[in-house]
A and B are shown apart, each in its own frame.
Chain A
Amino acid sequence: MTIDWSSFTPGSALLGGALIGLSVAAFVLLNGRVAGITGLLATVFQRQDEGRSDKLLFLVGMVVAPIVWQLFQELPRVQFVAGGWLPLVVAGLLVGFGTRYGSGCTSGHGVCGLSRLSPRSLIATLSFMATGFITVYVLRHLIGV
């Protein structure tokens, strides 16, 4: 393993992480809900979900964020490495199905779950990190995509 020091951005990573922490803290203490994006998205399919407007408004805030950001400065660099439409579609299908089947994603299990010291979320986080590392290893170093 070699560390890519030129890409390492400890300051913005910690500060951005802190903003995410503040956001989930505010949502649980003020709205009484866990800000797991998978769980919030699930409400799209459930007409009579309780607290539906809160969940949808959180998602709207997330979409509006880059628009507000651009009023003040340029968006940070965004690189879509998976070229073409097919990898994006395959990845999207796996992420959508997997997060619902596994009851959460990076935010629900990774941030909120670990902050709650939930054993379920720890297992989930270790599981998705494991296949994340393995998939990148296989694609980049074995197949060479």
Chain B
Amino acid sequence: MLRITAFLSGLLFGFGLLLSGLANPGKVLGFLDLAGAWDPSLALVMAGAIGIALIPFTIAKRRTRSVLGAPLRLPTRRDIDRPLVVGSLIFGTGWGIAGICPGPAITLLGGGYWQAFLFVGAMLVGMLVFELLERRRIAAELANATA
């Protein structure tokens, strides 16, 4: 059951990206271009999404298990640290270059665009670089702790 709901949720997410225009890099860049002819549509995408998700998340915060009995895992961190800010600044720079963020990149794969395959390939390499640096950092910390 959890697998079916996961698949259907993803399907719905993809439809939302396509319908909203978030899966169109040209439209995303039109939103990010404040100094040009500004297209405010994406602000409404966020408003629509948050408007719907606000109450469900408020309910989720009070529960320890999902409706289907799965453990409810919400992020618990509340500290504002340097990786959060620096990472987000780096992400925004890439977003501003191509107008593509991770969700639309994945959905555009299904449209068969070569640009999406190239972007996702590069994105996974970027994630892999992070993964390797993170593993090295953890290994170094462990070595320090035992030394």
Which residues of A approach B to under 8 Å, CB–CB? 1-4, 7-10, 12-35, 37-38, 41-42, 44-45, 51, 53-55, 57-69, 75-82, 85, 87-107, 109-116, 118-120, 123-125, 127-137, 139-141
B interface size (C-beta, 8 A): 112
Which residues of B approach A to under 8 Å, CB–CB? 2-3, 5-27, 29-30, 32-42, 44-54, 56-57, 59-61, 65-68, 70-75, 77-80, 83-103, 105-111, 113, 115, 118-131
* Residues in A whose Cβ lies below 8 Å from that of B85: 102, 123-124, 127
Q: A2-B38, A78-B24, A100-B130 are in contact. List 13 more A-B contacts (CB 8 A).
A: A1-B35, A16-B20, A20-B17, A28-B72, A31-B66, A32-B60, A44-B127, A58-B6, A92-B121, A96-B94, A96-B128, A99-B87, A103-B75
Of chain B, the residue at the smallest CB distance from A10 is B44
Question: Would you call the interface of chain B mostly helix, strand, loop, or mixed?
Answer: helix
Partner of A114, one of B24, B26, B50, B111: B50
Most chain A C-beta atoms within 10 Å of own C-beta, residue among B25, B41, B59: B41
Contact B14 A116 (CB under 8 A): no
Question: Would you call the interface of chain A mostly helix, strand, loop, or mixed?
Answer: helix
